[in-house]
């Protein structure tokens, strides 16, 4: 009879150790309020192409605490305010209220961190690879935004 209880007790202990000893990974991600730190206060831009009269043309991405701007040079910005994001590894999915009148409802953008100075941006079936920069290019001595 003592042997039965010994095996029963060993089985219970093994089950408890197996259940409590394994860690469960969380697969459900949540929406975090604000802009991710890889975008907040930083500027990223595409490669510069020189268009009409050698005017520099590029897209740049900038984020503040609750707003993300994606702007072509010499034009109005798109993007949005009231930003929320999900993180999965080095990829961030952003959800925001659109700026432009064409962007009804929510706008989505996917930003993937390629390195400490490069990001990949997908928005509305468009794709850009951007590099971090600190000064806007100049044209005739003035910064081109």
- What global pTM score does this model have? 0.74
**Topology at the third CATH level for domain 33-143:** Lipocalin (2.40.128)
**Residue 133 confidence (pLDDT):** 96
Count of alpha carbons within 13 angstroms of residue 122, beta-carbon side: 7
Contacts of 45 (CB under 8 A, 6+ apart): 58, 59, 60, 61, 130, 131, 133
**Is the dihedral angle over the CA atoms 72, 145, 133, 44 positive or is it negative?**
negative
pLDDT 10s digits, 89-113: 999 999 998 876 555 678 899 999 9
**Taking a C-beta distance cutoff of 8 angstroms, is the pair 66, 34 a contact?**
yes
Domain positions in the chain = 33-143
**Taking a C-beta distance cutoff of 8 angstroms, is the pair 118, 112 a contact?**
no
Structure tokens that stand for 52 in this block: 């009409």
């Amino acid at each position: 009879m003592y042997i039965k209880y010994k095996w029963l007790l060993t089985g219970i202990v093994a089950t408890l150790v197996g259940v409590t000893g394994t860690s469960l990974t969380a697969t459900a991600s949540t929406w975090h309020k604000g802009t991710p730190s890889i975008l907040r206060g930083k500027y990223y831009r595409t490669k510069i192409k020189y268009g009409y009269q050698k005017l520099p043309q590029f897209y740049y991405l900038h984020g503040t605490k609750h707003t993300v701007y994606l702007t072509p040079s010499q034009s109005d910005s798109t993007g949005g305010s009231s930003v929320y994001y999900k993180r999965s590894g080095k990829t961030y999915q952003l959800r925001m209220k659109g700026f432009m009148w064409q962007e009804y409802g929510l706008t989505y953008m996917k930003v993937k961190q390629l390195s400490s100075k490069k990001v990949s941006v997908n928005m509305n079936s468009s794709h850009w690879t951007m590099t971090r920069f600190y000064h806007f290019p100049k044209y005739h001595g003035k910064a081109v935004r």
